[in-house]
A and B are shown apart, each in its own frame.
Chain A
Amino acid sequence: EVQLVESGGGLVQPGGSLRLSCAASGFTFSNAWMHWVRQAPGKGLVWVSHINSDGSYTSYADSVKGRFTISRDNAKNTVYLQMNSLRAEDTALYYCARDFSYGMAVWGQGTTVTVSS
């Protein structure tokens, strides 16, 4: 069974940092592109970041560029999202998703990030 399990969310003060993890199983992780997508409370889905299969190419939404870094460890079947200089508007449920044919194909259950003093 294909599974994605996010972790690492929590409460952080504005300006702080957090690293999210997404552990994958049930598919050949080293062949898969991966995404992070977020959803603010009561709002819609917003694409955040993408990484290709070997980690050599990454991309980011303008709203997080320069503050967030996506990476992966194919030996551990895990993708990460390092979030620095966090703002109140980064408060959201963060999902990781596996890409297939340039779209999200499998989703995790999400991890909640709250940025507040």
Chain B
Amino acid sequence: QTVVTQEPSFSVSPGGTVTLTCGLSSGSVSSSYYPSWHQQTPGQAPRTLIYNTDTRSSGVPDRFSGSILGNKAALTITGAQADDESDYYCVLYMGSGNWVFGGGTKLTVL
């Protein structure tokens, strides 16, 4: 069973830049996994930030960007703001009609 890995927690200073990653317990993530990124604040439904590796969802500010860095998918937030403090989930398409979420990264802005 392939596990999708994310950092459990990360911290960034206001105005700073942070890169969250999404990897595989075995193998490398490529664009063929169609990585997408979703932001969730407590008590709220998820909100899609990035789909298909690097395409921003409608209304998402351009300080959120997606990419492949090395063997992982990455979400970079530049100019972090207080309301970016959220949980961030990646999800990968594993093929054969199967999707797997990572465990999520809790981002703190302080």
Interface of B is mostly: strand
List residues of chain A with CB under 8 Å of any chain B CB. Answer: 35, 37, 44-47, 50, 57-59, 61, 95, 97, 100-110
Interface of A is mostly: strand
Specify which of A44, A57, A103 lies most central, judged by the most chain B CB atoms within 10 Å of its CB.
A103
A4 nearest CB across to chain B (Å): 9
Q: Contact check, B101 vs A107: say whether CB atoms are below 8 A apart.
A: no
CB neighbours of A108 from chain B (8 A): 45
Q: Contact check, B52 vs A104: say whether CB atoms are below 8 A apart.
A: no
Q: Which residue from A46, A103, A109 sits with its C-beta under 8 Å from B45?
A: A109
Number of interface residues of B (CB under 8 A): 26
Q: Contact check, B55 vs A104: say whether CB atoms are below 8 A apart.
A: no
Query: Contacts A101-B51, A103-B52, A110-B45 known; A57 to B97 CB distance under 8 Å?
Result: yes
Confirm or deny: B48 has a beta carbon within 8 angstroms of a beta carbon on chain A: yes
CB neighbours of A101 from chain B (8 A): 34, 36, 51-52, 55
The complex places the Cα of A100 from the Cα of B53 at a distance, in Å, of 12
Nearest B residue to A100 via CB reads B51
Q: Contact check, A95 vs B46: say whether CB atoms are below 8 A apart.
A: yes
Specify which of B35, B40, B51, B87 lies most central, judged by the most chain A CB atoms within 10 Å of its CB.
B51
Q: Contact check, B103 vs A44: say whether CB atoms are below 8 A apart.
A: yes
